[in-house]
Amino acid sequence: MQIAGVDIYVNHPVLHLGATDWVPLSLALDTTPAASCDTHVAVRVRPQRGLIKVRLFTPPDYPQAEGPDPEFATVFDGPLLLPDGRIAVGDVEQLTRFVYRVGDRGQFNVRVAVNTPGPDASAIDIVVTNPSN
């Protein structure tokens, strides 16, 4: 079920998502579509040519609920530590930032999918699951 959405303009080809604290300097994207550490994911996106559409989902409470786009390619699927129970999405310059509470603090299962993996990605679906539910 979609719980939030935001359009973000980015100057650099990277969008960060994860914990609300600072992104570690050790998180390097290199040439891959995405890279991660225990608290953040960096996703390669299309910069300076329009808005990046980001949608946030939780598992649906009922089967008819709108879900993430099934044709998007998964670039990250794993655990992320969210110390305050909030997930942040923003550009690397931290000029644009969206924060949403997804639960209590702790570790969450997160799946990140994009419409086109790599430098032409312009839409991202994020599914956050609280493993304690």
For the stretch 38-97, pLDDT in tens is 999 999 999 999 999 999 999 876 666 678 899 999 999 999 999 999 999 999 887 889
How much is the pLDDT for 93?
Answer: 83
Average pLDDT over residues 12-21: 94
The CA distances from residue 117 to 79, 82, 112, 122, in Å, are 20, 25, 11, 9
How much is the pLDDT for 67?
Answer: 83
What is the rounded distance in angstroms from the CA atom of residue 129 to the CA atom of residue 122? 23
Average pLDDT over residues 3-23: 93
Q: What is the average pLDDT value for the chain, to the nearest integer?
A: 91
What is the rounded distance in angstroms from the CA atom of residue 87 to the CA atom of residue 12? 21
Task: Name the nearest CA neighbour of 40 among 13, 12, 17.
Answer: 17
How much is the pLDDT for 105?
Answer: 92
Question: What's the length of the chain?
Answer: 133
How much is the pLDDT for 63?
Answer: 67
What is the rounded distance in angstroms from the CA atom of residue 128 to the CA atom of residue 23? 19
Give me the amino acid identity at 73: A
Prediction pTM value: 0.92
Higher model confidence: residue 62 or residue 2? Answer: 2
Give me the amino acid identity at 42: A
How much is the pLDDT for 62?
Answer: 65
